Chains A and B, each alone.
Chain A
Amino acid sequence: MEIQIRNLSKTYANGVHALKDVTLTIPHGMFGLLGPNGAGKSTLMRMIATLQEPDQGSIRFGDIDVLRQKDKVRETLGYLPQEFGVYPNVTAEQLLEHFAVLKGITDRRSRREIVDALLHQTNLYEVRKKKLGGYSGGMRQRFGVAVALLGDPKLIIVDEPTAGLDPAERVRFLNLLSELGEDAVVILSTHIVDDVSELCSRLAIIDKGTILLEAEPLQAVAAMRGRIWRRVIEKTELPELERAQSVISTKLLAGRTVVHVHSATSPGPGFDPVEPNLEDVYFTTMAGHYGGRGEQPVLEAAR
């Protein structure tokens, strides 16, 4: 099963063009959607999750028309939104059981089994009888995962899942996600590049409502080899350097500024070649030197 998105467009009532003619194919497995804040990621996620309507375009999941057969999609959907709350006065177990029924698990015994299994899987079994109002941010996130995983969904959408988690929780969460990619379509939408590089077999980069790049991470990184250069400079030298070169990213390292520059050849003395990573791909794409805005990628994934 794969998701076919064709010519999706949406303009909000306040004039923002959230999506501009987006065409994308999301295959089976872990798919990463990268982009800055306001790129349109959440809008796209919500549309696939049946929570929002586009102005134009279509989405198909296998042979289900997502826009018109919402209930069918919801039967096999697991959605973990970017922001959500919980009922503070209910325990995790009670609410999870409630959702289990809503998702169609009506038989009491199998429901108990599934709920227990999920609570174990998200490591909430110990605190299952505690009221959700007392959960920390990470625990709440895990609860959201448990709800999303109810009913063995074939389409799982996670929107900015690791944003509020501490490092240990993040690792645990990503481990959890990686087990899911086996037999479902999992879309991970994030602005944290490392999440995608660690987990996803395909990715797309989106900005201002348009898809800038659709590729496999390894191949995209390979295409960058030999084009990324690094230099440590003073803060004051930056403006001049930006005018002269294609600076794709700046970082701080122990108080000094480190710049990465994209160039086919060495930009000059003081620059060292660097082994590119996905972040470089991301910044390069965003800067317009790669993908939809600039040169075509060297390798494209087979459609």
Chain B
Amino acid sequence: MRSWEIFRFEIAYQYRRVSTWLYFIVLLTLTYYMATEIYIDNARSDGYFFNAPFVIAVMTVLGSLMGLLSATRLAGDAAARDVQTRMDPLFYTTPVGKAAYLRGRFLAAFVLYAVILLAMPLGLLLAAVVPGPEAELIGPFRPAAYLGAYLFLALPNAFVATAFLFSMAALGRRAMTSYLGSLLLFSVVVFSRGFVAGTLEWWELAKLLDPFGMTVLGELSRVWTPVEKSTRLIGLQGSLLLNRFLWIGIALGVLTLTHLRFRLAHHTAGAWWSRGARRADRETPMGDAIVHVAPRVRRTFGFATHARQMLTVARESFQEIVMSWGGLVLAGMAALAVVSGTQIEHMGVPLFATAERITAFLAAPLTSPQEVFGMIVPLLIVFYAGELVWREREARLSEITDAAPVPEWVYFLGKFVGLGLVLVALQALMMAAGMLIQVLLGHVDFQIGLYARILFGLQLPDYILFALLALAVHVLVNHKYVGHLVVAIAYAFMAFGPALGVEHNLLIYGSDPGRTYSDMRGFEPFIGPWLWFKFYWAGWALLLAVAATLLWISGKEADLGSRLALARRRLTRRAAGLAAAAVALILTLGGFIFYNTNVLNPYRTASDSLTWRAEYERRYGHYKGIRQPELTRANLRVEIYPGRREAEIRGTFHLVNTSPDAIDSVHLATKSAVNTTAVRFDRPAKNVLSDEEFGHRIHALETPLRPGESLQLDFELHFKPRGFPNRGMDASVVANGTYFTNDAWLPAIGYQADRELRSAGDRRKYRLAARPETPMLDDVEAHSDAGGAARIAFEAVVGTGESQVAVAPGRLRRTWTQGGRRYFHYAADVPIRNHYAFFSAAYAVHEGRWNDTSIEIFHHPTHAWNVDRMGRSIQASLDCYTQQFGRYPHGQLRFVEQPGDGVSLHASPVNISYEEGFSLLNPGGDPRDIDLPFAVVAHEVAHQWWGATLTPARVEGAAVLTESLAWYSALQVVERSLGPEHLRRLLSMMRGVYATPRTRAEVPLLRATDSFLTYRKGPFAMYALREYAGTEQVNTALRRLLERDGSGTPPLATSLDLYRELQAVIPQSLHYLLVDLFEANTFWELATQRVTAKQTETGTWQVTLDVKTRKVVVDTAGVETEVPMDDLIEVGVFTAAKAAGPGEPLYLQMHRLRSGEHRITVMVASKPARAGIDPRKLLIDVEGDDNLKEITRAEGQKR
């Protein structure tokens, strides 16, 4: 019963403390706020209940993470308070016994934490009950959901967390070690969810590694349909059960270890690793009674001394952190950086480890907690700021130090500088790590200056500002644990401010509009505003520092009244001057920034943008579909001024009335990025409406435009950004790397339906008529909307800086220099889609040719590694596609590098742009030996047919005509140029997408809109068709499709047209396959259970396969229906696999199989090693790995 007494006393002790309740209330509020602000949007847009069991479970796990801070305090206190208050001799000499003592304390900490975690379901209940969210978003109240989440998620998490933190504090004999424990736990959760599962995609390992179950839920989030999320309870099955067992077992093991190692005894100090090293410390006696007097020394006081003292304090603080566990953590981070940095890849292809890539990896912004160690550094700062501020008091030295003739600012500044030095050391370690990564990956172009600028010039100031905030808060809030809480809340605000509704960077401490570095653009144009913001926040930091110094705790008076009185007395002229300077800095810079972000530029929050779009639809939506003249020709004169970051365009549009009615007014949509002026028609017209805010103008023609008549529109536009907006600079025109599209700048005719709100949730919120996000497949009106497909004649003269090359669609007619500027005259050979871009940079050009098509690759001079490869791919693609689908209409094909560190490419007529990241792909280092850039280039070139020539209607399934066919075409090129083996490897890589957890509930391929269907399932389906029906047949269908619908005149093609063409070429016996692949969402479940082989007398082998087949159709709600099967499925027998690749096929034939279990017997000529059904995985089967099996010999065989 001593155990009970210890338990009871501990509970009563913590129960009485304010911080316990503070944590409860904070957790409650946070849960409530997160649910109502963040999850409500998810629920609205993804279509599940806001109080769904799934949401409750996710919030519970998040709460376990957020509550770790309180668990740290409770467990650390319970375990180490006796030692830290030095009551241990009194406790240990009672007959309480080790087991009862530990058990009582641990259970008390666990129970308290479990009670605090009740704040989460409570907060969720409140959020669902207190009026706010729309009624239709609230599902039925299911106590089982709350109970289940609490019992299966919160309680085990609490047990694991308390076990670890308690053990660490008990064995370390300091509450501080439990802080490090919580940091470790937190990092493991984030690491397994974000990196192991998110980046490496090793989901099984990640689910086990994650002690809080976050990864398990993460997988469910991807696999469950919205209906499942709304209704299914999180139960103890499968991976969750395993995870709980494992971690509870680990926790029990840790507790047992603690029980064994803990001793109710006096502890002799001395770290175990220094025991041997130290010489015997003898107690030196006092000596004889004669006093030896120490010599007199001169002492100085004054500023120089104080400065030196400050440096001493700084050095002390630095050593304190680095020599303790903190140093290990820093070293660990560097090691972790090296390990994960060498893994950076895109779709499995390693990247060239340029300095730009590595620094982007290392220097994640302070407030992006998703990065691998994005959270660790702020947590370290929070923790060590507290340690530094409380150091003297905890060592009981404070009365001595307070009585020393040292002004307070010396201490504050010294500790700040010490912490700052630790951060500098961290950045130096990171730099070393980065260079090591580069060495390991074999790319030794170090660019130390870049490292220095990014790690020390950009990231370090963020850390320093945050460190000062942490220190100041700890001084002002004179309570260590509450201080930690406040800084943690401040950090959460900094990281999630926009999500919580605060978006202006003047209001979020330390924030700025963002900055990126790219090899082409450098730091431009983001550095200017970044600097202004940082100085502004430095002003605030200075003010905080002054406040902290004035309110520095000195002596025993700790209540607010005496501190304020003390502060008043400390207010020297210098302090007041500094404060005034800080305030002046804040006001002037703040004012300047505000002028830029709110006066020179419109300030728009995310919800403002939505409101704008809704209002646009409300005002002008009734003009949708009215007759407007069509653009047939664009003639542009573009002047780019890279140095000034300005551009202007003088343009002439030729419009024709292609409709059967007369048009009396022309609606012009102007773009907000530019200032459109001097709009003139070649006939009298009056400007009856000019809504600058919404970019809509109406010009009434004096004489209506008759059908067939044409109209000329002249305009001028200026791109001249003023100052900087809050959301970040517009980087369209920069010193090197200009890129803008016609959609972004040039005026458009008519009502812009693109501006409407798309998502159902948003439309409901703004009370607009419901509308499907993508028009339905059978929406005939959409088929006739030729918007995207209309062709225009294009001609442009582009002027740019002397050292740059400008690129626009069409043939380069001529280039000249005039007035210190270079000019390029482009004209398209044939009409192009009205979707193009302008580029200008100091490019290097790689030239090539295929027949009479010139091939040019414009690239940044140092990004030349893949250019040859790309050129070869373009040639091979042109060769293949011209033969299979028809002529490429233009005389030139270009790839142009555009600034940005992403890896995406975008196909426009004639010019295909690719981001800088793409040029960094290193297929030579790919262990799978797949030339991904080659394949991707082939895909993009294919878009010149699938997209530019054949432009589908904007309905469901449109992407099948563009993306799926483009990938299918690229597969052909890969096969022809790189060989069938290479194609097999590429397909294998693409099938890797099935390993990512996803739900099987999908629309059929004909209606596909999402990327998984259009980029993967579509090409797989086409490839399967090819293998079943024949390459020529399929290509014929595609050729016919292009011939019929490749003109761009409405009605535009849809996936149904492709389907009809395929139906025409594919034999009737295979039509079932067409239906299964395209019309229904069919999954085959094929498995080979056993294969045996027996050698016959004639030397041939008889192979027997036991297979199981099944076919299901899954609808969008996730309901699975088994359908009868009578399908042709390939059966194959192979020889033993050699070094790379599978063995040779001894037998590969189609068999007709029904559903159920079958035994198939085939004869082959030589010794087989593996066999199975659908060995090439042509059919859509999520579990493709069980198709092939190793052969075991039948019984009773001897030879």
Is B306 engaged at the interface, CB distance under 8 Å to the other chain?
no
Q: How far is the CB of A107 from chain B (nearest CB, A)?
A: 11
Given A15-B279, A83-B86, A90–B6 Cβ distance below 8 Å?
no
A74 pairs with B275, CB closer than 8 A: no
Cα distance, A117 to B279, chains bound together (Å): 50
B93 pairs with A50, CB closer than 8 A: yes
Interface string of A17-49 (1 = CB under 8 A from B): 000000000000000000011100000001001
Given A13-B275, A16-B282, A98–B5 Cβ distance below 8 Å?
yes
A16 pairs with B281, CB closer than 8 A: yes
Cα distance, A16 to B17, chains bound together (Å): 43
Which residue of A has the minimal Cβ distance to B277?
A: A14
Given A84-B86, A87-B87, A104–B13 Cβ distance below 8 Å?
no
B289 pairs with A14, CB closer than 8 A: no
Is A291 engaged at the interface, CB distance under 8 Å to the other chain?
no
Is A181 engaged at the interface, CB distance under 8 Å to the other chain?
no
B93 pairs with A16, CB closer than 8 A: no
B16 pairs with A53, CB closer than 8 A: no
B93 pairs with A49, CB closer than 8 A: yes
Cα distance, A103 to B93, chains bound together (Å): 9
A88 pairs with B95, CB closer than 8 A: no
Is B2 engaged at the interface, CB distance under 8 Å to the other chain?
yes
Given A71-B97, A75-B95, A106-B1, A51–B282 Cβ distance below 8 Å?
no
Cα distance, A291 to B777, chains bound together (Å): 110
Is B96 engaged at the interface, CB distance under 8 Å to the other chain?
yes
List residues of chain B with CB within 8 A of the CB of A12: 268
Is B708 engaged at the interface, CB distance under 8 Å to the other chain?
no
Q: How far is the CB of B260 from chain A (nearest CB, A)?
A: 16
List residues of chain B with CB within 8 A of the CB of A245: none
Is B278 engaged at the interface, CB distance under 8 Å to the other chain?
yes
Cα distance, A88 to B85, chains bound together (Å): 9
B95 pairs with A104, CB closer than 8 A: yes
Is A81 engaged at the interface, CB distance under 8 Å to the other chain?
yes
B94 pairs with A99, CB closer than 8 A: yes
Is A217 engaged at the interface, CB distance under 8 Å to the other chain?
no
List residues of chain A with CB within 8 A of the CB of B6: 102
B95 pairs with A103, CB closer than 8 A: yes
Is B660 engaged at the interface, CB distance under 8 Å to the other chain?
no
Cα distance, A85 to B6, chains bound together (Å): 18
A51 pairs with B13, CB closer than 8 A: no
Is A52 engaged at the interface, CB distance under 8 Å to the other chain?
yes
Cα distance, A102 to B279, chains bound together (Å): 41
Given A15-B280, A101-B5, A81–B89 Cβ distance below 8 Å?
yes
Interface string of B1070-1097 (1 = CB under 8 A from A): 0000000000000000000000000000
Cβ < 8 Å to A, chain B residues 1-23:
1-2, 5-6, 9, 13, 16-17
Given A86-B85, A238-B289, A74–B93 Cβ distance below 8 Å?
yes
- Looking at chain B, what size class is its interface with the partner chain? 35 or more
List residues of chain A with CB within 8 A of the CB of B563: none
B290 pairs with A85, CB closer than 8 A: no
List residues of chain B with CB within 8 A of the CB of A49: 89, 93
Interface string of B786-817 (1 = CB under 8 A from A): 00000000000000000000000000000000
A102 pairs with B89, CB closer than 8 A: no
A14 pairs with B278, CB closer than 8 A: yes
Given A85-B87, A101-B2, A52–B266 Cβ distance below 8 Å?
yes
Which residue of B has the minimal Cβ distance to A47?
A: B266
Is B195 engaged at the interface, CB distance under 8 Å to the other chain?
no
Cβ < 8 Å to A, chain B residues 59-115:
81, 85-87, 89-97
List residues of chain B with CB within 8 A of the CB of A87: 13, 81, 85, 87
B94 pairs with A102, CB closer than 8 A: yes
List residues of chain B with CB within 8 A of the CB of A53: 265
List residues of chain B with CB within 8 A of the CB of A98: 5, 9
A84 pairs with B90, CB closer than 8 A: yes
Which residue of B has the minimal Cβ distance to A82?
A: B89
B86 pairs with A74, CB closer than 8 A: no
Is A147 engaged at the interface, CB distance under 8 Å to the other chain?
yes
Is A161 engaged at the interface, CB distance under 8 Å to the other chain?
no
Cβ < 8 Å to A, chain B residues 288-308:
288-290
- Which of the listed residues A74, A81, A102 has the most CB atoms from chain B within 10 Å of its own CB? A102
List residues of chain A with CB within 8 A of the CB of B92: 50-51
Which residue of B has the minimal Cβ distance to A143?
A: B90
Cα distance, A49 to B290, chains bound together (Å): 38
Is B285 engaged at the interface, CB distance under 8 Å to the other chain?
yes
List residues of chain A with CB within 8 A of the CB of B97: 71
Which residue of B has the minimal Cβ distance to A15?
A: B280
B270 pairs with A14, CB closer than 8 A: yes
Q: How far is the CB of A48 from chain B (nearest CB, A)?
A: 10
Q: How far is the CB of B917 from chain A (nearest CB, A)?
A: 56
Is B682 engaged at the interface, CB distance under 8 Å to the other chain?
no
Which residue of A has the minimal Cβ distance to B85?
A: A85
Identify the 8 closest CB pairs spanning chains A and B, nearest first: A15-B280, A38-B283, A85-B86, A74-B95, A101-B5, A81-B89, A102-B94, A51-B266
Residues of A bordering B, CB below 8 Å: 12-16, 36-38, 46, 49-53, 71, 74-75, 77, 79, 81, 83-90, 98-99, 101-104, 106, 144, 147, 235, 238-239, 242, 250
**Given A81-B89, A81-B90, A98-B9; 18 other pairs, CB 8 A cutoff:** A13-B275, A14-B281, A16-B282, A38-B283, A38-B285, A51-B89, A53-B265, A71-B97, A74-B96, A86-B85, A87-B13, A87-B81, A87-B85, A99-B90, A101-B2, A102-B6, A102-B95, A103-B94
What are some 10 contacts across the A-B interface (CB < 8 A)? A50-B93, A51-B266, A71-B95, A83-B86, A85-B87, A89-B13, A98-B9, A102-B6, A104-B2, A147-B90
